[in-house]
Structure 1
């Protein structure tokens, strides 16, 4: 019997087990020297001035909003086509999400959709997501929102490896938030980071990731350190551990090669699916200096749920990114029906998106199985439509 093709198999660098054992042997398991080294190495990879490692991308988003010091209940623009964690971050920071519609081709907000949302409210801040790995044009969207760059958070959970204008995503952002979840381009298992060009902002996030304490335990318990600390702002318990950080340090070494492999897999999908009727391929890199991270390979198909079920029956793992936030019960109750009706393109496109397997190590034979199963599902649907 042919084995299944899972939606994702996280790649692991060969040096990970030894690195973890080394940290375990050190007996320093929480935030410490490995976390500091990881922050510097990830900053070097991005070309960013500062990186603060945290527990997750969701906590990175919330910490970034908290560190901005916005008035309670401030309106924050966000695409509705995003993970629920991004909406929760706005709410947990004490603010109000305002939904922004997307461009149908790129699946990210456009200057026009941002301007339309900003016209309804006077936004205090904005979160922008690199959907699937497509790098948003942060300066253009910041201008469209009428905001200063210090009030814009870039959700780069899908972003490592992406670039715009030749500059890596996160290299010059005021606040770019990354994810190291198990399915992401650089998997650690859990974890996140905030990259920023502003030293003062980095210091605020660094303190707030550990309750707002002025010194973490590593600094307090170093030789000559003091147990005394202050809390100047209320924070979260959202620090990264040295066990996570040492995995991240090993994984960074393989990230460039993994990104090249992702691009090769995407090129094979593009070629193989180009002639499959009813399948809309993902957004293209039509602009000079734009490099897609290819975290996801999102196709669009009619009758998406039924197509996904047929692929599952054929042993092909798929996923959906995402159920639009405006369609989820809790957010409908919080923001109201009128606000949830403001994103018609998101509602329409969101019913068609289907993410196919894409990860380093996905073999050509497995890709052929994915393509064959999708083509058969589309043929079956076309036959039923004709009959």
Structure 2
């Protein structure tokens, strides 16, 4: 969406692009190789260096990254996997597509992510075989604490870090030492490519496994088969998916990565300004401020408000676009049919908080005047409710 699409509206998001993105795409096109190849390998190296990770494997999306990692665990079909209900539907679909069974964990109302207590409560209902943990809005979860609460080994925990680039805990970037951390480069994310994802891992075996699985389980991709001296022969040693990243995406990603630190700095400034503009507004709950040792990525600025749906309509009438992250999985028809009423009723804090959540516009190009409009419209809507 361009800034000129709706002159009178503050959009929820405007995708940011580094200055040399067009040149990066042109270089890929000029090379004559546009699918998975040298640019993808270079992007993996660059992103691994940014994270401080041993390995990065670029894939088609964060959803496919989650599914590949879960498949690579080789769990028995139908094995229970803990997941927050307050998550994107793709994360739950990944569990189901891997042939596993979601088990819902409730959240902490302040951080919007599961706590050790809520994970332990979910694990007490059914002994989990694995767990997916999510960095909601960019808040880095305490993976070690949740892993212990679930009674799991770290090799059975997959991090949904779709909102995670730029986040850190204890000085360690999200994904730097993970068994499996899955990132998204969707158009609205902190480092947008348009589509695409990546798996960061400290495990050599997992890296080798998912690298093959992203291309049907083939032992060599086409670039390596057609290099000078290469062979057309390949083997399929494990069943995989069509989930590779293209060199066009990777070229964009390499350019975007150079701009990410400045974009993250700008997000921090905007969040601090929102806090100042909105402090003391009646009935408003601001996002939890950064705690000691926690560096928030600020993918989302999520507030909690009364009468949320009516406020959304009033903001829209005032020319302010907003969004909601997320409709809980337990509220979705398909998952209700799969999980059953008892499981869907096991997350009362999620049910309550989800009715109050509202995501405000937050992106590096958000102008001060537009941010003022957002805050003023929200404060006016709240004051009208006393």
Do both share a fold (TM > 0.5)?
yes
Match of 2:280 among 275, 278, 283: 275
**Aligned-partner Cα distance in 1 for 2:7–2:100:** 50
**Partner SS, residue 183 of structure 2:** strand
Specify every segment of 5 or more residues in structure 1 that has no aligned partner in the other structure, as ranges: 383-387
Match of 1:78 among 76, 80, 83: 83
**Partner SS, residue 153 of structure 1:** strand
Match of 1:237 among 223, 234, 242: 242
Confirm or deny that 1:200 pairs with 2:205.
yes
Confirm or deny that 1:101 pairs with 2:101.
no
Q: Which residue of 1 aligns with 2:184?
A: 179
* 23-32 or 83-92: bigger deviation: 23-32
Quote the offset at 1:2 in angstroms: 6.1
Quote the offset at 1:380 in angstroms: 2.2
Q: Which residue of 2 aligns with 1:21?
A: 26
Aligned length: 381
Structural mapping, 1:241-252, within 5 Å: 241-252=246-257
**Aligned-partner Cα distance in 1 for 2:222–2:312:** 48
Confirm or deny that 1:369 pairs with 2:373.
yes
**Aligned-partner Cα distance in 2 for 1:179–1:283:** 23
**Aligned-partner Cα distance in 1 for 2:14–2:226:** 39
**Aligned-partner Cα distance in 2 for 1:136–1:253:** 26
Q: Which residue of 2 aligns with 1:301?
A: 305
**Partner SS, residue 310 of structure 2:** helix
**Partner SS, residue 381 of structure 1:** coil
Specify every segment of 5 or more residues in structure 2 that has no aligned partner in the other structure, as ranges: 1-5
**Partner SS, residue 146 of structure 2:** helix
- What does the per-residue CA deviation read over 1:200-239, in whole Å, with 9 as the maximum and x for residues that have no partner? 1000000000101111111111111111111111110000
Match of 1:11 among 10, 16, 24: 16
**Partner SS, residue 235 of structure 1:** coil
Alpha-carbon spacing, 1:30–1:176, altered in 2? closer, same or farther (3 Å): same
Match of 2:54 among 41, 49, 54: 49
**Aligned-partner Cα distance in 1 for 2:325–2:41:** 32
Quote the offset at 1:361 in angstroms: 1.1
**Aligned-partner Cα distance in 2 for 1:227–1:353:** 53
Confirm or deny that 1:290 pairs with 2:302.
no
Q: Which residue of 1 aligns with 2:323?
A: 319
**Aligned-partner Cα distance in 2 for 1:271–1:146:** 41
- What does the per-residue CA deviation read over 1:53-101, in whole Å, with 9 as the maximum and x for residues that have no partner? 0000000000000111111111000000000000000000000000000
**Normalised by the size of structure 2, how large is the TM-score?**
0.98
Alpha-carbon spacing, 1:245–1:2, altered in 2? closer, same or farther (3 Å): closer
**Aligned-partner Cα distance in 1 for 2:244–2:294:** 32
**Normalised by the size of structure 1, how large is the TM-score?**
0.98
Q: Which residue of 2 aligns with 1:385?
A: none
Confirm or deny that 1:381 pairs with 2:385.
yes
